Chains A and B, each alone.
Chain A
Amino acid sequence: MPLELFTTGEPIADTKAPTDVPIGERWSERRFRGRLVNPANRRKMTIIVVGTGLAGGSAAATLGEAGYKVTSFWYQDSPRRAHSVAAQGGINAAKNYRNDGDSVHRLFYDTVKGGDFRSRENNVHRLAEVSVNIIDQCVAQGVPFAREYGGLLDNRSFGGTQVSRTFYARGQTGQQLLYGAYQALERQIAAGNVEQHARTEMLDLIVVDGRARGIVARDLVTGEISTHFADAVVLATGGYGNVFYLSTNAMGSNATAIWRAHKRGAYFANPCYTQIHPTCIPVKGDYQSKLTLMSESLRNDGRVWVPKERGDDRDPREIPEDERDYYLERIYPSFGNLVPRDIASRQAKNVCDEGRGVGPGGLGVYLDFAEAIERLGRPAVEAKYGNLFDMYAQITGEDPYTVPMRIYPAVHYTMGGLWVDYDLQSSIPGMFVIGEANFSDHGANRLGASALMQGLADGYFVLPATITEYLADGPFEKIDDAHPAAAEALQGVQDQVQKLLTINGTRTPASFHRELGKLMWDLCGMERSEEGLRKALDRIPEIRQEFWTNVKVSGDWHSFNQTLELAGRVADFIELAELMCVDALHRRESCGGHFRAESQTPEGEALRDDDNFAYVAAWEWTPEGQPPVLHQEALEYEYVHLAQRSYK
């Protein structure tokens, strides 16, 4: 590996999980060994929680209930709008209500395997244990999960498993779970236990004597930039999929909070692990601002195909059967249209690269229900997929009952994130990271319905239990704006904002975002190669350079200025993109969502290299111009045996 791209530092390890007891006892043992904070002291402790998604919302509510003084931040107008609201499919839990052989151990096993053996066993086991409590908690809060006629909870099955363990609320599971957490949070706000900062964006972390002690944030309405202090800081700011510009993430989803914390010393783990979802509505034109996910369940009945001939632009209904290529059924005769997400995505890309893609720009494949409608009848198809078909028709203006749907993969989730130990504490003491913002539980690939599980596990159960160990040493010395570290952070943020406004160049922030996104999609997307990544690494610094000399941001910073918000986020995406490419380049193996062209089986499947890469890559930021430092955390598998995935 060429030295200039990164240097290798000391290995790191998680020291918090009590590995001297069997895996099933580690979580309770950890809670037992951890110190507690007595209720009288809790009132004296403040905790900043940034983010109100499933992770942040549930954490703030739970910590507030426990008696800490919590200060909560989010960038939307209401906590109810965090992007968790958009999750459709469901949430896993090892309840075994179906009596189909599910258990904590099986959920643990499936998740480690689904993550392509790049996650930590201890964390995943705890996640599986806690999953059952989540369902109890949410039901008690009034989350209207789907039920059967007998009044008991219904389950469905989801990709990558053989049991039915997914709890759902029609196609709006994330929304309903989030509203449960949101309502619990509002209750704590009303009770005076949580102080709220709506429409406020975290722009820096304040580190004092090696401890995270506060944040710098900008009130997006008044523009005021101010400092906030606490005994501990929790980041729950979601994923960074918007590096790719087009993704299924919300427009405001950003990497700013975690990236700036990274620049303050928090290690960033596995940045290159991104998940690309195979069934999204394809791009229509340059103006496109975001991509919409269509539930994966569509692949149960829809058949995926493209024309055999490249450039065949006939109406799909006029293309005869023998001129169609049902490529998934052809390549994977036993799994057919139901191969896992990463494989379905990659094959769609392959046929489009061959010039056989359909629709505008040739970036799309057909998902055809003609056969299903004939076999099951239209009413049955309507009953199963009506909502999704309506959504498709609303967005595309086409009727999927008569014309085959067009779908294309899209960036959906980021498995990478800030490095945390078993206690969910980052490499900066006092800063904890939960939800999609951390790297913890999904390895190189996340199974469907397990992000919601992780977010709520972290927020309701894990963090509130582990943070006490840290807080037991508090409350810490009081600090204020006068402290040099605080003043420096505040000044830094003000300078940056001011700089963005004074460049007054000729390109909008959105145009940089689009350019960066396209580059990342092409070169660090579904398939990555040495050559492509090097090209990206040449180009990204140029984009950054141009951004800082030629961006145009109108208005001022002491008022509501959405262009300025975007500019700050794009600046961070550019830097993060570079680290993602370095990580992708250094990991010369394919695993989960990370597919390196150089590392595949003769059949074109992902090929792991366990001897050299069975580790977490935790990256340390170094001052401008210096290459990042790689710290490796070795992954050991005591309970699940390493094996190659196969879906033929």
Chain B
Amino acid sequence: MTLTQDGAHSSVDAPAQKRGMNLTLRIWRQKDPSVKGKMVTYKVTDISPDMSFLEMLDVLNEQLIMQGDDPVAFDHDCREGICGMCGVMINGEAHGPQQTTTCQLHMRSFKDGDKIDIEPWRASPFPVIKDLAVDRRAFDRIIQAGGYISVPTGTAPEAHATPVPKKDSDAAFDAATCIGCGACVAACPNASSMLFTAAKVTHLGLLPQGQPERDDRVVNMIAQQDLEGFGGCTNIGECSHACPKGISMETISRLNHDLLGALRAGARPKS
């Protein structure tokens, strides 16, 4: 595999056993939050279709390090689609052309000669740390505002004391699968975190254990989401299409329902 940056020097060392793909990558490079970033072009060659997207970036980075250049920073951890750490815009789509996480996207989704634009999630509550890595702690603060059930350790009643209809528990599970990746925000034209918040409100709101705090939860989480600087939801639906866990738009309707009910019932945010 060979590489050129900005066409500076072209592939000289390739006794080309061209099995794989040759691709042109345009990647957002930004040293830190204080400086302006720009798209930089790289070429990678001989990329196997079996590689994951992140493995393709690994290959690029190994080369960059050996050239003494700064490798491209990107977030990742589990590489099996569950931790929610990875996530970049690929040709204008959050997590790329398939409805999955970036780490589970494989290069067979691309073809030889493709140009691929890679950008970080863009939203002011998700400031860029470096290159493709952004800070998503705003999500944690939304959870802090009420995305939990208050049950100090050791105070729980016997688990079978409260049966939960299977239908509700299954629906709660569906919503609870949100991995907090931020693709919904990235894809939403309003940069709204509504789908993320709605997933948690739905998960806890469907369970009997979640009822006592239901009104306060939704009011406070929405207040926090606005405070963080996310956009408002205008029901565009890009989020759900981009969501690797397929969180449905129904959760947003449910949140709206809960919120309007809570406001009517007099619930007000804490701060």
Task: Consider the complex of A and B and state whether they touch directly, i.e. have CB atoms less than 8 Å apart.
Answer: yes
In the bound complex, CA of A449 to CA of B65 (Å) = 40
In the bound complex, CA of A153 to CA of B85 (Å) = 31
A76 touches B83 (CB 8 A): yes
The B-contacting residues of A in range 186-242, CB under 8 angstroms, are 186-187, 189-190, 198, 221
In the bound complex, CA of A77 to CA of B120 (Å) = 15
Contacts of B210 in A (CB 8 A): 142
A289 touches B71 (CB 8 A): no
B166 touches A147 (CB 8 A): yes
The B-contacting residues of A in range 160-209, CB under 8 angstroms, are 169-170, 172, 175-176, 179, 182-184, 186-187, 189-190, 198
Contacts of B233 in A (CB 8 A): none
The A-contacting residues of B in range 104-132, CB under 8 angstroms, are 104, 106, 108, 129-130
Question: When the two chains form the complex, which single residue of A65, A78, A152 contacts B139, counting CB atoms closer than 8 Å?
Answer: A78
B82 touches A175 (CB 8 A): yes
The reply on B62 being an interface residue by CB < 8 A is yes
Q: Are A394 and B144 CB-contacts (below 8 A) given A76-B85, A142-B204, A289-B54?
A: no
The reply on A337 being an interface residue by CB < 8 A is no
B62 touches A560 (CB 8 A): no
Contacts of B100 in A (CB 8 A): 394
B55 touches A288 (CB 8 A): yes
Residue of A nearest to B108 (CB): A397
The reply on B265 being an interface residue by CB < 8 A is no
Question: When the two chains form the complex, which single residue of B32, B55, B177 contacts A560, counting CB atoms closer than 8 Å?
Answer: B32
Q: Are A148 and B144 CB-contacts (below 8 A) given A85-B83, A554-B68?
A: no
The reply on B77 being an interface residue by CB < 8 A is yes
Q: Are A81 and B65 CB-contacts (below 8 A) given A136-B158, A147-B164, A285-B48?
A: no
Question: When the two chains form the complex, which single residue of B52, B77, B149, B165 contacts A142, counting CB atoms closer than 8 Å?
Answer: B149
The A-contacting residues of B in range 74-101, CB under 8 angstroms, are 75-85, 100
Most B Cβ at <10 Å: residue of A83, A184, A562 = A562
The reply on A11 being an interface residue by CB < 8 A is no
Most B Cβ at <10 Å: residue of A76, A133, A183 = A183
Q: Are A187 and B144 CB-contacts (below 8 A) given A77-B85, A144-B176, A172-B177?
A: yes
The reply on B250 being an interface residue by CB < 8 A is no
In the bound complex, CA of A284 to CA of B71 (Å) = 24
In the bound complex, CA of A62 to CA of B155 (Å) = 11
The reply on A292 being an interface residue by CB < 8 A is yes
Q: Are A77 and B148 CB-contacts (below 8 A) given A62-B153, A510-B62, A552-B65?
A: no
How many residues of B are in contact with the other chain, CB < 8 A? 79
The B-contacting residues of A in range 277-305, CB under 8 angstroms, are 284-285, 287-290, 292-293
In the bound complex, CA of A97 to CA of B65 (Å) = 56
Question: When the two chains form the complex, which single residue of A58, A81, A146, A186 contacts B148, counting CB atoms closer than 8 Å?
Answer: A186
Contacts of A559 in B (CB 8 A): 31-32, 130
Most B Cβ at <10 Å: residue of A83, A140, A150, A175 = A140
Contacts of A285 in B (CB 8 A): 48, 50-51
The reply on B69 being an interface residue by CB < 8 A is yes
The reply on B231 being an interface residue by CB < 8 A is no
B176 touches A289 (CB 8 A): no
B165 touches A151 (CB 8 A): yes
Q: Is the interface of B mostly helix, strand, loop or mixed?
A: loop
The reply on B21 being an interface residue by CB < 8 A is no
Residue-wise interface mask of B (168-183) relative to A, using a CB-CB cutoff of 8 A (1 in contact, 0 not): 0110110011011000
Question: When the two chains form the complex, which single residue of A250, A290, A461, A510 contacts B153, counting CB atoms closer than 8 Å?
Answer: A461
Q: Are A144 and B151 CB-contacts (below 8 A) given A85-B83, A292-B80, A555-B70?
A: no
The reply on B150 being an interface residue by CB < 8 A is yes
A85 touches B78 (CB 8 A): yes
The B-contacting residues of A in range 90-108, CB under 8 angstroms, are 95, 97
The reply on B209 being an interface residue by CB < 8 A is yes
A183 touches B148 (CB 8 A): yes
In the bound complex, CA of A613 to CA of B140 (Å) = 48
In the bound complex, CA of A530 to CA of B126 (Å) = 53
Contacts of B6 in A (CB 8 A): none
B106 touches A77 (CB 8 A): no
The reply on A460 being an interface residue by CB < 8 A is yes
Most B Cβ at <10 Å: residue of A77, A172, A248, A252 = A77
Contacts of A394 in B (CB 8 A): 100, 104, 106
Question: When the two chains form the complex, which single residue of B135, B148, B154 contacts A461, counting CB atoms closer than 8 Å?
Answer: B154
A144 touches B203 (CB 8 A): yes
A149 touches B82 (CB 8 A): no
The reply on A61 being an interface residue by CB < 8 A is yes
B166 touches A151 (CB 8 A): yes
Residue of B nearest to A176 (CB): B176
A221 touches B129 (CB 8 A): yes
Residue of B nearest to A139 (CB): B159
Contacts of A61 in B (CB 8 A): 153
Question: When the two chains form the complex, which single residue of B31, B55, B73, B209 contacts A140, counting CB atoms closer than 8 Å?
Answer: B209
Smallest CB separation, A118 vs chain B (Å): 29
Question: When the two chains form the complex, which single residue of A95, A139, A395, A560 contacts B106, counting CB atoms closer than 8 Å?
Answer: A395
Residue-wise interface mask of B (19-37) relative to A, using a CB-CB cutoff of 8 A (1 in contact, 0 not): 0000000000001100000
Q: Are A554 and B70 CB-contacts (below 8 A) given A175-B177, A285-B51, A289-B54?
A: yes
The reply on B262 being an interface residue by CB < 8 A is no
The reply on A13 being an interface residue by CB < 8 A is no
Smallest CB separation, B15 vs chain A (Å): 17
The reply on A497 being an interface residue by CB < 8 A is no
B71 touches A562 (CB 8 A): yes
The reply on A79 being an interface residue by CB < 8 A is yes
Most A Cβ at <10 Å: residue of B133, B143, B172 = B143
Question: When the two chains form the complex, which single residue of A81, A135, A148, A287 contacts B166, counting CB atoms closer than 8 Å?
Answer: A148
Q: Are A186 and B143 CB-contacts (below 8 A) given A152-B163, A287-B58?
A: yes
The reply on B12 being an interface residue by CB < 8 A is no
Smallest CB separation, A102 vs chain B (Å): 15
Smallest CB separation, B112 vs chain A (Å): 16
Smallest CB separation, A238 vs chain B (Å): 11
Smallest CB separation, B145 vs chain A (Å): 7
Q: Are A198 and B58 CB-contacts (below 8 A) given A136-B156, A141-B149, A151-B163?
A: no
Contacts of B106 in A (CB 8 A): 394-395, 397
Contacts of B267 in A (CB 8 A): none
Which residues of A does B touch, CB under 8 Å?
58, 61-62, 65, 76-81, 83, 85-86, 95, 97, 133, 135-137, 139-142, 144-153, 169-170, 172, 175-176, 179, 182-184, 186-187, 189-190, 198, 221, 248, 250-252, 284-285, 287-290, 292-293, 391, 394-397, 460-461, 464, 506, 508, 510-511, 552-555, 559-560, 562-563
A to B CB contacts below 8 Å, 29 in the list: A65-B153, A77-B137, A78-B140, A81-B84, A86-B80, A86-B82, A137-B156, A142-B148, A142-B209, A144-B170, A144-B176, A147-B166, A147-B169, A170-B173, A183-B143, A183-B148, A184-B151, A186-B148, A285-B48, A287-B48, A287-B59, A289-B54, A395-B52, A397-B50, A461-B154, A554-B65, A554-B71, A559-B32, A560-B129
Can you list the 7 inter-chain pairs with the closest CB atoms, starting with the nearest? A151-B163, A183-B148, A140-B156, A190-B144, A144-B173, A136-B156, A139-B159
Given A81-B77, A83-B77, 9 more pairs with CB closer than 8 A: A83-B78, A136-B158, A137-B156, A146-B173, A186-B140, A186-B144, A285-B50, A460-B154, A559-B32
